[in-house]
């Protein structure tokens, strides 16, 4: 399903005081990722954090922990991602 290299790209972060996981620019929670739900926001290459196109912060607002985590999506989560169900919540 996923290689260890892909799983190790997930870093625990804090954004505006809340805990998230950063996965290739997506800010999400462990639970949301595991269950195939849409991410909270995205960190873009320009350093801005956007949610639904609106700038809600910047890279400077993110506290990088350096702690890597491994989260494998559940079978239901994979189905949700493939079918686009995670955007319906």
Asked whether the predicted pLDDT for residue 3 surpasses 90, the reply is: no
Residues 23-50 have a mean pLDDT of 90
**Each residue of 70-85: pLDDT tens digit?**
887 777 766 666 666 5
Asked whether the predicted pLDDT for residue 86 surpasses 60, the reply is: no
CA dihedral sign of residues 68, 27, 6, 44: negative
CA 56/CA 67 separation, integer angstroms: 24
Asked whether the predicted pLDDT for residue 1 surpasses 50, the reply is: no
| Domain definitions of the chain by residue range | 4-87
pLDDT at 77: 65
CA angle 57, 58, 63 (to 5 degrees): 100
Identify the CATH number of the domain defined by range 4-87.
2.40.220.10
């Amino acid at each position: 399903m996923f290689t260890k290299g892909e799983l190790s790209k997930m870093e625990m972060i804090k954004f505006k005081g809340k805990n998230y996981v950063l996965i290739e620019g997506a800010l999400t929670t462990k639970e949301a990722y595991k269950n195939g739900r849409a991410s909270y926001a995205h960190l873009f290459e320009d350093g801005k954090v956007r949610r639904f196109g609106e700038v809600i912060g910047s890279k400077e607002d993110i506290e990088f922990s350096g702690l890597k985590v491994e989260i494998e999506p559940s079978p239901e989560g994979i189905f949700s991602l493939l079918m686009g169900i995670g955007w319906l919540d």
